[in-house]
Chains A and B, each alone.
Chain A
Amino acid sequence: ETTLTQSPAFMSATPGDKVNISCKASQDIDDDVNWYQRKPGEAAIFIIQEATTLVPGISPRFSGSGYGTDFTLTINNIESDDAAYYFCLQHDDFPWTFGQGTKVEIK
């Protein structure tokens, strides 16, 4: 089973900042990583698929990078509406496993 180590667990950003969230896999998982955004009381939203592909309808301020074992979600020019919990998921092997998540606060 692939372990995903996500960091940081919490971050506080100022509007306009560039934010990076890391997700490291315990083994090579190609580009089989997705990123999601979840706000309290709401369903998670699919934002990045296959490590780098922006899901249609998602703001281009979001981007993903990485391959193999190291992956990054980047939020450019962060806005107050981006305050949320973000998590990575791998679907390279069974079962899906998840990063521990990152809570992003906007000052």
Chain B
Amino acid sequence: EVQLLESGGNLVQPGGSLRLSCAASGFIFRNYALTWVRQAPGKGLEWVAGINAGGDGTHYADSVKGRFIVSRDNSKNTLHLQMNRLRAEDTALYHCAKFLVPGLSPTTLKNGGPDSWGQGTLVIVSS
């Protein structure tokens, strides 16, 4: 059974930093692209960042580009999101998600979408 467990969410001041992690199990981690998706209170879901299976291809939403860094450790089956220069509008529940189809880049069109999600970790940016 695929499991994705996020951690690292917290209350942080504007301008601060936070590192989220997503621990994965139940599948061959190194074979799948992964993404971060967030949901702000009362809003819809927003794609944040994606990383390919090897970790050498990363992609970001314009809203976080230059501030967030997605990375992965395939030896530890863990995905990370380093969040810098945080803003109030980054307040959200952050989920990691696994691609349905192995071997794809996050930018592959018609990629089947995600088949598994984590339950999320809450980030609150407030003074």
Determine if chain A interacts with chain B: yes
Which residues in A have some Cβ–Cβ distance to B below 8 Å? Answer: 30, 32, 34, 36, 38, 41-44, 46, 49-50, 55, 87, 89-101
**Chain A interface, DSSP helix/strand/loop, else mixed:** loop
Known: A95-B50, A95-B61, A96-B35. Contact between A89 and B113, CB under 8 A?
yes
Contacts of B61 in A (CB 8 A): 95
Q: Which of B110, B116, B117 contacts A32 (CB 8 A)?
A: B110
The CA-CA distance from A39 to B118 in the complex, in Å, is 12
CA distance A106 to B117 in the complex (A): 24
Q: Is the CB of B47 within 8 A of A41?
A: no
Chain A-chain B contacts (Cβ-Cβ < 8 Å), number: 67
Note all chain B residues with C-beta closer than 8 A to A91.
109-113
> Does the CB pair B45–A92 fall under 8 Å?
no
Is B10's beta carbon under 8 Å from chain A? Answer: no
Total residues of chain B contacting the partner, CB 8 A: 27
**Mind listing 25 A-B residue pairs with CB under 8 Å?**
A34-B113, A41-B119, A43-B118, A43-B119, A44-B95, A44-B117, A46-B100, A46-B114, A46-B115, A49-B100, A49-B112, A49-B113, A49-B115, A50-B112, A55-B115, A87-B44, A91-B110, A91-B111, A91-B112, A94-B109, A95-B61, A95-B106, A96-B113, A98-B37, A98-B46
List, in ascending order, chain A residues with CB within 8 A of B118's CB: 43
Q: How far is the CA of A89 from the CA of B109 in the complex (A)?
A: 13
**Other-chain contact of A46, B43, B110, B116, B119 (Cβ < 8 Å):** B116
* Minimal Cβ-Cβ distance residue in B for A40: B119
With A43-B119, A46-B116, A87-B45 already in contact, the answer to whether A92 and B110 are too (CB < 8 A) is yes
A23 to chain B, nearest CB (A): 12
Q: Which residue of B lies closest to A99 (CB)?
A: B44
- List A contacts of B37 (CB < 8 A): 96, 98
> Which B residue sits closest to A50, measured CB to CB?
B112
Q: Which residues from chain A contact B47 at a C-beta distance below 8 Å?
A: 95-98
- List B residues 77-110 near A (Cβ within 8 Å): 95, 100, 106-110
Kindly state whether residue B59 has any CB partner on chain A within 8 Å: yes
